Structure 1
């Protein structure tokens, strides 16, 4: 790699990381789902094992999840305060995508400038700017593209080793690794249809990957599949909210999140590759784009993850578009405008990516400091044996900060009647009937209700419709309110 190119790549990396860290620490807390993962990392640090038998979630239940990410982060928890590590390490990992995407783009195009543009797109891809999110996706995405890069260079022995190690790690981090396997399958099929033979080493590696992935998933999820049946595929998410977990964003909003220029360039490259027969490497990337689209269409992976993966594929394909554009201008002998193309693209990227990226970070769904204080208050001021009810997304705050049992959170696997629970949870915030509320609270052994500003906004209420001084005592009265249940249904 030329020294000048190396300097530019390092500059993009550090600008990306600095921007991410500034935005991460501007938002003091984490996204709601992050608190489940923080709790698991703390448990591994303390005991060496994940918390698979959780006495607080849903009032006590068995948990099923892949622990690779949590063990990885537990290593850093030894040296750094966890909340500091949880801000820094995920942002470093996602910033490293800049280097990985550069290497893939360079391998495909053999053009340094095109690869640097792809790296820049990656660094400021709006969909990746969940800078206060502490989830396995922050490790999954860099690893999955490292695996793709190793697969492209599989004929070199050291990259075979890198592929095997990274794929084994992926299989223990996220079930979304199936993206790779379906992509490999589509790649093999497209190659056969176009008469492009895949190598023996590629076929053997794909078969090995398939069997290893299925084996790992079977080890962790066999009981879940037997218990939930087909619902296992959709993570047992209640039907009332499945649209929230697998949404269909308006096309324009989705394009903004992956950036409009890479999207349009990606369409061009896909057309060129499928109908004008480009190389195998482009076929491979297009296969991953197709696999992502299919899995999203059938709601088999969460939308934000699929959009992030798709956006990174588009960033790589943009390098091919840029190279083809320069070749076309050379062909028609319009070389005078060549010197204006690069600065024009950089300006367009700055205008179409920087603001959406920063906006995405600043609009993250996180609890306020006041809400955190209210949930922390639970631990010292409530009776341990009784449950607490809050919004579904606030369930992890009850268990992480309050150390109390919740009614629901977003870990749905192995939970029976999730639809009924969710309906009852909603009823506790919208019903005007005291007897209905007391019946639900008694059924789940709940004595405390938390009404946060987020809950007030969601249900468009200022207070609980059935609140009365007789059966409910307001024991915490700030922006967030906490109520103590003082009646039993049979005594009214």
Structure 2
């Protein structure tokens, strides 16, 4: 049967699974999704991103990469923004399926290996669960990165250098994870040179040009932030107190489970084979992506989620090479008649070890979306408060308040551009955990409302806020999941 049929079937199956989970709830997972929605709506209405945000940290200016928001804003012309957030990222994420197929086919000249590798990528637990309901830019940055790898493998083909540079330019404006891929390309040059693998002049030129042009672009774009924050800008100025919430230590067994046991074992086997016994340039590109992701995770220069996604897909591509050399070996052996059966067993092992985990993580991801009672509370806050009011919430709920209530928050998850971020974070913690009323803090920032939810209970490991019985605080809302208090003794 035509391989395009199987590729299309995998695409439709993966998209169906994604949409099945995504449409189980009307809301999205993670408050960063609602930052994206605010930007999309603002671009749709004005044509420009919201760089001067009056609601973030009491009002401030900051820079971010806007291409993802522009792409979604384009689709919002034709459908509601909420529908765009559910549908478009999942379609983009499924583009990783043909991308993996094309890479493996170009690397091995084996369509069967490409189809099986594409299936492994389609149901990789970490990528499926983290991109189906969070409007994540990884939905587009990963497929574009894979297509860049595909073009690099055939860079001597006419016009390929132009397409490669175009993809890198798009990635630069899309998401900062482009540096994972650019470092991988530089490592590829090093690996190839170390193993005596010849690299074409065109490859070397486009890689070096892309790397240095990208570095220059980011230095110019974020020059002011680099001056203000110094090296901490590399880690998004994340405060030390919560650094490990964003850059986790790696649990190796969990990481293997998130990427899939079968592609991990097959990919590692291929790297050992080619490092010590064989040389194949295309394999070295995938191996370089593996090393780039691993090093950046280890140095905590990449968020674990992003690092594991790129790490997993490097192994997925190498899995395709494993299938190819296995077929070659079986064709030359006395058990060639068993080739189809052995491949079926390998894919069955993948289904058993990865697909249930992918579905479980996806269900958990959807269940972690903001609840209806929280949304109701935030919409009521908009009715009770005035446009200039300041609300105290945990950092991971800041974007929720800004989107649903249209009110300014003392803190959110964008820490760049805040000089006193360590102090501000401590002050928010004290507002929730202090045994006595923190009058100075409340009056210093001009706090109007304190938002107390189940998320605050988990985030600060508390059961209640001790001083809220004081006459200066009035409970204005309580739906069982959320209590909202008005501070009426401002000085």
TM-score range, shorter chain: over 0.9
CA contact (8 A) 1:102 1:116 kept: yes
Who is 1:450 aligned against? 451
DSSP 3-state at the match of 1:157: coil
1:469 Cα deviation from its structure 2 partner: 4.8
**Deviation string for 1:80-100 (max 9, x for gaps)?**
111100110000001111111
Q: CA separation in 2, counterparts of 1:445 and 1:215?
A: 40
- Tell me the equivalent position of 1:409: 412
Matched, 1:24 2:26: no
Contact 1:172 1:216 (8 Å CA) reproduced: no
The yes-or-no answer on 1:12 pairing with 2:6 is: no
Q: How far, CA to CA, are the matches of 1:334 and 1:82 in structure 2?
A: 55
Deviates more, 1:189-198 or 1:45-54: 189-198
Q: Give TM-score scaled by structure 2 length.
A: 0.96
Q: 2:315 maps to which residue?
A: 314
5 Å-filtered alignment, 1:11-410, equals: 11-31=9-29, 32-128=31-127, 129-130=129-130, 131-364=132-365, 365-410=368-413
| In structure 2, C-alpha distance between the alignment counterparts of 1:212 and 1:48, rounded to whole Å | 27
SS at match of 1:80: coil
Distance across 2 between alignment mates of 1:371 and 1:221? 35
Once the two structures are superposed, what CA deviation does each residue of 1:127-171 show, in whole Å capped at 9, x if it has no partner? 012211112221111111111111111111243332122111011
Helix, strand or coil: the match of 2:114?
A: helix
- For normalisation by structure 1, the TM-score amounts to 0.95
Q: Could you tell me how far 1:328 is from its partner in structure 2?
A: 3.0
Contact preservation (8 Å) 1:66, 1:220: no
Q: Can you list the C-alpha shifts for 1:230-252, whole angstroms capped at 9, x where unaligned? A: 11111100001111111123111
3-state secondary structure, aligned to 2:329: helix
Q: Is the 8 A contact 2:197 2:279 kept in 1?
A: no
Shift of 1:429: 1.6
Aligned-partner Cα distance in 2 for 1:18–1:473 = 48
Say whether the 8 Å CA contact 1:27–1:362 is kept in structure 2: no
1: CA distance between counterparts of 2:269 and 2:462? Answer: 49
Question: RMSD between aligned alpha carbons?
Answer: 1.5
Residue by residue over 1:14-51, the C-alpha shift from the partner in whole angstroms, topping out at 9 and shown as x without a partner, is: 00000001101113211221111111111111111111
Q: Which runs of 5+ in 2 are unaligned?
A: none
Please give the alpha-carbon distance, in whole angstroms, between the structure 2 residues aligned to 1:339 and 1:8.
16
> 1:475 is paired with a residue of what secondary structure?
strand
Structure 2: distance between partners of 1:272 and 1:343: 23
Shift of 1:331: 4.2
Kindly state the Cα deviation for residue 349 of structure 1 after the two structures are TM-superposed. Answer: 1.8
Question: Does the CA-based 8 Å contact 2:391-2:448 persist in structure 1?
Answer: yes
SS, match of residue 411 in structure 2? coil
The Cα offsets for residues 277-307 of structure 1, whole Å up to 9 and x where unpaired, read as: 3210001111111111111111112110110
Aligned to 2:433: 430
Q: Secondary structure at the match of 1:58?
A: helix
SS at match of 1:466: helix
SS in 2 for 1:286: helix
Name the stretch that deviates more: 334-343 or 466-475.
334-343
Higher deviation after alignment, 349-358 or 225-234: 349-358
SS of equivalent residue, structure 1 residue 337: helix
Report if aligned partners of 1:97, 1:142 keep a CA contact under 8 Å in 2: yes
Q: Which runs of 5+ in 1 are unaligned?
A: none
Deviation at 1:462, TM superposition (A): 3.5
Report the secondary structure of 1:175's partner residue. coil
Please name the residue that 1:484 is paired with. 486
C-alpha separation in 1, matches of 2:57 and 2:275: 50
Of stretches 162-171 and 116-125 in structure 1, the one that deviates more from structure 2 is 162-171
Q: Distance in 2 between matches of 1:348 and 1:194?
A: 33
CA contact under 8 A between 1:27 and 1:132: conserved in structure 2? Answer: no
Kept after mapping to 2: 8 A contact 1:93/1:139: yes
- Aligned-pair CA distance for 1:126: 0.5
Give the Cα separation in 2 of the matches to 1:457 and 1:209: 44
User: Residues 158-193 of structure 1, C-alpha deviation per residue, up to 9 Å, x if partnerless?
Assistant: 433321221110111122211222112111111111
